[in-house]
Amino acid sequence: MLAALVLLGGCDRSGPGSTSMTDDSAGEADAAVPASTAAPEESPLSSELRVALERLLVGSESRADSSWFSERTRGALRSATVNSAGHAIVDFHDLRNLIPNASSSAGSSMLVQQLNATVFGLSGVESVEYQMNHSCDLFWEWLQQSCHVVKRDTAQPGK
């Protein structure tokens, strides 16, 4: 839902939490703010997820030939949050120039498997939405797929 709010950019300012002009303010500019400006509810898992993803993004010499992640991808994580229901939102800076060959079918599969192994390696994370520059569509289009949420069941069969 947060992704939808971010993508919509607060187009509708009516409803609970918005301000409206009263008779005394006629003629003044509308100073309304979007209805939802508060940060989403975040669980303690969020910091664990950020640390795990930052480690993955730095890469490791021992797995350099089997990972898309290296010094080039250090700092590519914009944010990672997990709400109390176990839904994670992982947002990256634009990865397309950092790892351009990941968009091949085998490459995208390997990249998503590595991300899923890291995200679902934390117990309590039940689903994840990957984004790039706050856009699920941009992330998945880069990998030649449609935007979707990955659930623990489909990410790691048997768990």
Q: What digits encode the pLDDT tens for the residues 27-86?
A: 444 344 333 334 455 667 899 999 999 999 998 654 444 577 888 899 999 999 999 999
Number of domains in the chain: 1
pTM (2 d.p.): 0.68
6-20 pLDDT, tens digit each: 333 333 333 333 333
Q: Is residue 75 situated within a structural domain? A: yes
Structural domain range at position 114: 43-154
Q: Is residue 17 part of a domain?
A: no
Q: Answer whether residue 6 is part of any domain.
A: no
Which pair of structure tokens corresponds to residue 16? 């609970």
In a domain, 2, yes or no: no
97 neighbors 103 (Cβ within 8 angstroms): no
Residue 33 lies in a domain: no
